[in-house]
Amino acid sequence: MTLEQLRIFVAVAEHEHMTRAAESLHLTQSATSAAIAALETRYATQLFHRVGRRIELTEIGRAFLIEARAVLARAAAATTVLTDMAGMTRGSLALAASQTVGNYFLPPVMARYRQRFPGIDLSLRIGNTEQVADWVRDGEVDLGIVEGAVDDPALATQPVGDDELVLVVGRSHPWAKLHTVVPGQFAETGWVLREAGSGTRAIAQSVLDQSGIAPDHIRVAMELPSNEAVCAAVVAGAGASIISRLVAAALIGSGDLIAIKASLPTRRFIQLRHKERYVTQAAREMSEMMRAR
């Protein structure tokens, strides 16, 4: 059994399709099929059910998938250690971030990092806070950076920056002419919020919940999957929102969004890493660069 056979098996299991797995690995379909057939023949077992054009894991295949992923993760960790010993002249660093961090906070940091360490290949995945925590826990990325609270015993957390929140409305909103809004007024408008699982949604919901107004009197007019969609809806008059000033800055500057004074907390951007995984020099340098931003 070889690492290449394990990589092929995992790809086929994840895609549940021989051709798509082969394409993801830049292999021919015949080479992919041959690798699976060699495993099944060598160990006299069936890893996949063939159902028409579809394939799906057998019970043995599902058990083997857990072990195969673990072996590949250990092999990747060993490669990382050797690469790290070579210094910062080569290597890779996989990052994941929630939307506010990934779209606004992190890109300038990544640009400076690339200038300083051109031999390190950087990659970035963007999801909500829950997704990022899952990717770090599962070893799919080296570091995660989120704006929401994460309580997971497998993950180490570290603050790397602060984020100012702002209450915004569109120019046609009744609050647009006000200088200040107090929590007692929060029931007067509909709210445009991010989806559940988003750090932005969690803190906005917390502010609304602590307003002293009964939850059933707070009306969520729209729930949207991105910061940009939230801003566009607020500009169009759909309601008010609580969002990062980083996200809203350009629209506030143009006058399309009106920022209103309100008593809002400052939240922190939090770095996540797996407690039991090796921390590379590349990851340590990125952490330092984010904190020094």
pLDDT one-digit tens code per residue, 32-58 = 889 899 988 998 989 988 877 778 898
Q: How far from chain centre, in Å, is Cα 73?
A: 20
pLDDT of residue 97: 96
Domain tally, the chain: 3
Structure tokens at 277: 């995984």
Confidence of residue 127 (pLDDT cuts 50, 70, 90): very high
Write the pLDDT tens digit of every residue in 164-219: 999 999 999 999 999 999 999 999 999 999 998 888 898 899 999 998 888 888 99
Within a 13 Å sphere around the CA of 268, how many CA atoms are in the beta-carbon half? Answer: 11
Q: Which domain holds residue 56?
A: 3-84
- 142 and 49 in a common domain: no
Which residues, including other chains, have CB under 8 Å from residue 116's CB and lie 6 or more apart? Answer: 285, 289
- 7 and 148 in a common domain: no
- 244 and 210 in a common domain: yes
- 186 and 56 in a common domain: no
User: What is residue 207's three-state secondary structure?
Assistant: helix
- Which one has a higher pLDDT value, 82 or 66? 66
**Secondary structure element (H or E) that encloses residue 96, with its range:** strand 91-98
Q: 120-127 and 257-260: which strand pairing?
A: unpaired
Given a cut of 60, is residue 268 above it in pLDDT?
yes
Q: 266-274 and 143-146: which strand pairing?
A: antiparallel
Given a cut of 80, is residue 293 above it in pLDDT?
no
- 237 and 194 in a common domain: yes
Given a contact cutoff of 8 angstroms between Cβ atoms, the answer to whether 203 and 148 are in contact is yes
- 107 and 73 in a common domain: no
- 20 and 144 in a common domain: no
- 218 and 100 in a common domain: no
Domain boundary among 63, 84, 105: 84
Q: How confident is the model over 78-98, as a mean pLDDT? A: 77
What sign for the dihedral angle of Cα 216, 222, 225, 227?
negative
- 75 and 35 in a common domain: yes
- 183 and 222 in a common domain: yes
Beta bridge partners, 270, equal 146, 159
Within a 13 Å sphere around the CA of 161, how many CA atoms are in the beta-carbon half? Answer: 23
- Which one has a higher pLDDT value, 259 or 1? 259
- 272 and 262 in a common domain: no
Q: Cα(251)–Cα(196) distance, rounded to whole angstroms?
A: 24
Structure tokens at 41: 């023949």
Q: Cα(217)–Cα(284) distance, rounded to whole angstroms?
A: 46
> What's the Cα-to-Cα distance from 281 to each of 74, 183, 277, 289, rounded to whole Å?
18, 46, 13, 12
- 255 and 212 in a common domain: yes
